[in-house]
Amino acid sequence: MILSKPQPSLLQLLSGDTVKITKIEPVLAGRRNLYVKVHTDEDHIGWGECGAWGYQEATAVTLKQLEKLLIGQNPMRSEHIWNALTRNMHFRGSIIQAAISGIDIALWDLKGKKLGVPCYELLGGKTRDKVRIYVNTSGRDTEELLSSAKDARAFPIILLVQYPLRLVFTWMHVYLILRVRNIR
C-alpha cells in the first residue's frame, strides 16, 4: 500500500513558518512603472505594483531598504507585515507608501498562488462578471495624440485623452476629442 504525503491544512498554510521571504526585487519598466517581485525559499514569486509616478527610482531604493526587514519573514502573514511596515516608521510619504503598497500586493499574490486561488477570492470573492476599462493616450503634439488614439481603437474601452502637463483645457482639446471620436 502506497501512502501519499498528507496535504497541509489551510491553517497550516497560512500560519506555518515553512515559507520565508528570500529577496525583494524592484523591476523598473519604463519611466512610470515599477513592479516588485517578492521571492521565497519555495521558489514562489509574488508580483506587486508600486504607484509613486515620478519617483520610481527612489521607490526602488526604498524597496531594497525594506528588504532588510523582510528577509526571513513568512509572506503568509501579510497583515502582520503590512502593520509592521506602516506603523513602525516615523515618516510615511508617497515613496515609502508606494513601496509598501507594492510589497503588500505581492504578498497577496503569493498567498493566492500558495493556496491555489485568485487574489479576489482571498478578498471576499468575485463581485462582477465584466469590468469596463479605459486607456490613457498621450502625445507631444496633435499627430502623436491621434496616432495614440488610433492604437487604442483595438480595445473595447472608454477613451480618455491625456494632454501634456501644465496645459489648461482649451478648445484645441475639445477639437482633439471630437477628432478621436471620429476615428472610431
φ, ψ for residue 162, nearest 5 deg: -105, 125
pLDDT along the chain (184 residues), means of 10: 52 65 93 91 93 85 94 94 85 86 95 90 85 68 76 58 44 48 50
Say if pTM beats, i.e. exceeds, 0.85: no
SS3 132: coil
Cα–Cα distance, 179 to 149 (Å, whole number): 10
pLDDT at 104: 95
Residue 103 and residue 136 in contact, taking contact as beta carbons nearer than 8 Å: no
Distances in Å between the alpha carbon of 91 and those of 46, 68, 88, 157?
26, 18, 9, 39
Residue 38 and residue 75 in contact, taking contact as beta carbons nearer than 8 Å: yes
158-169 burial: b if 16+ Cβ within 10 Å, else e: ebebebeeeeee
Joined grid coordinates for residue 175: 477639437
pLDDT at 150: 74
Distances in Å between the alpha carbon of 124 and those of 6, 117, 118, 119?
28, 12, 11, 9
pLDDT at 149: 72
Cα–Cα distance, 184 to 173 (Å, whole number): 17
Joined grid coordinates for residue 32: 512610470
According to DSSP, residue 27 is labeled: E
Can you list the domains of the chain with their CATH numbers?
A: 16-122 (3.30.390.10), 134-183 (no CATH)
φ, ψ for residue 29, nearest 5 deg: -125, 90
pLDDT at 108: 94
pLDDT at 100: 94
Helical pair 94-115 and 56-70, crossing angle rounded to 10 deg: 60
pLDDT at 18: 80
Cell 503590512 sits at which residue?
A: 82
φ, ψ for residue 81, nearest 5 deg: -65, -45
